[in-house]
Amino acid sequence: MFLLNERFLGLILLLISTLVTTIVSIAWFRFKTLNPGRIAQLIELEMDQLSNNRQRSLIDDKELWNDLDPIPQVDSERPMVQIVYSTKYRRAMEIFRALLKRNEHSERALLLTTEILKSNPSHYPVWTYRLQILKGLNSSNPDGNHLRKELKFLSKVMPQIRKSFQAWTHRFSIVLLINDPSDELEFVNSALECDYKNYHSWTYRQNLLYTFKRPEMWEGELDFITDLIEKDLRNNSAWNHRFFISFESFKIREHDKEFLSSSDVLDSVVQREIQYTKDQIFKSPNNPSAWNYLRGVLKRGSVSFNDLRDFVIPLTKRREELELMGWPEELNLQSQLPAVGAVEFLADIYLLDQKQSQSANDLFKLLAEELDPIRKNYWSYRSKTSFSLSS
C-alpha cells in the first residue's frame, strides 16, 4: 500500500513538472516571436489604458483642431531604439508640428505647449515655440498681460522642474521682455531653499545681477551669501557666488571712472575677503571650498601666497606640535591636522623660491603617502613638476 501511494505521488509530481515546463516554453516562444514593434504596441496599449482613467484633455477635443492636418513623426523603418510614446503624447506632437508649420501664435497653441511640457518639461523646441507664441500674443494685444501671466505660471510649475535648464532659460527671456526683475531674486531664494546647490538657480541669479546691473539688487547679496555659507561651509556654489558678487559688482559702476580708477576700492575688497576666508578656514581647516576661494582672491588681487605664510604654517603641524607652539585662538579645537589644503598651500609658497623646491617636494610626498593617499597620483605628479620648475 505504501509503495503504491509513493508511485502515485511520483506520477503526480511528474505531471506537474511537465505542465509547468510546457507553460514556460510556450510563454518563452511567444516572447521570442514578438518583434520589437509588437512589444512597443503592447506597452503603449497598457500606457493608454492607464491614461484613459484620467480626465480628458484638450488633445481629445477634435473640434478645437479640426482645421489642422496633424503631421506624424517620421521614423526610420528599423529604428535602433524605438521610443514608446503614449497615444496622447503622440497626438499632441502631431498637432504641434502642424501648428509650428503654420507659425500660429494663438491661445490654443499656447495651451498645447502647456500640455506637452507637462509630459516633457525639457522639450527645448516646445519652449522656443512657446516664447514665440507669447511674443506674438503680446504684440497683437499688449494689454492682455500675457507675459505677466506667464511668470505666474512658471512660478507655479518650476518648483517641480528645477532641473530643467530650458525652463530657466525661458523664464529669463520673459523677464527680459518685461524688463522688470524686481521679484526675481525672491523667486530664486525660494528655489534655493529647496536645493542650495542647484546650478541652474545660481546661474539664473547671476544672469539677473549681471544683465540688469541695478544697485538695489546687489545691496543685500553679500549678507545673503554670508548666511548661506554659514549654513554649509562646503557649498561650492555659494563660494562661487561670493566671488562673483565681490568682484563682478565693479561692472555695475563701469561708467564711474573715478571709482574704477581707485585701487583702494579693489584692495579693500581683497583684504576683506582674505580675512573672511581665513576665519572660515579656522572653523574647518580641511574645507577645500575655502582654500580654493582663498587662492582665487589672492590671484584676483595680485597678492603673493607668501603673504599668508604665518597663517598657513600652524595648520600644517600635527596637533602635538601645535600644542607646543601655541594653538591659534580662532582655530577649531576639533580640527584634523595637518590640513591637506594648508600643506598644499605651503608647498606652493616654497615653489616661489627655487632654493625651497626640495621642501615643496617633501610636502607633496607627505600628502601622497599619508595625508591624502586617495589622490596619490596627483601628488606624485605635483612632486615631479616641482623639480622641473626648479631646474
DSSP per-residue string spanning 63-79? GGGTT---------SS-
pLDDT of residue 93: 97
Mean pLDDT of 347-357: 93
Locate 223 and state its grid cell.
549678507
> Which pLDDT score, from 0 to 100, does residue 75 have?
81
164 SS3 class: coil
pLDDT at residue number 326: 85
DSSP H helices in 213-254? 215-218, 221-231, 236-247
Cell of 310: 604665518
pTM of the predicted model as reported, rounded to 2 decimal places: 0.79
Q: Crossing angle, helix 146-157 and helix 124-140, to 10 degrees?
A: 150
Residues 6+ apart with CB under 8 A from 285: 315, 331, 332, 335, 336, 337, 339, 341, 342
The confidence score (pLDDT) of residue 23 equals 61
**Cα→Cα distances 328→54, 62, 322, 382, Å:** 66, 77, 9, 29
pLDDT of 322 > 80? The answer is yes
The three cell numbers of residue 375 are 589622490
Whether the CA torsion 274, 278, 279, 280 is positive or negative: it is positive
> So where are the chain's domains?
84-180, 182-256
Distance from C-alpha of 102 to C-alpha of 144, rounded to nearest angstrom: 23
Report angle CA 132, 198, 122 to the nearest 5 degrees. Answer: 35
Taking 60 as the threshold, does the pLDDT of residue 44 lie above it? Answer: no
Over residues 316-325, the mean pLDDT reads 91
- pLDDT for the residue numbered 255: 56
* Nearest-angstrom CA–CA distance, 245 and 225: 9
What are the tens digits of pLDDT across the range 258-287?
555 566 888 999 999 999 999 999 999 999
CB 211 within 8 A of CB 264: no
pLDDT given at position 120:
95
Percent of the chain past pLDDT 70, that is, above it, reads 82
The yes-or-no verdict on residue 145 having pLDDT over 60 is yes
Query: Burial level of 303, CB count in 10 A (0-12/13-18/19+)?
Result: middle
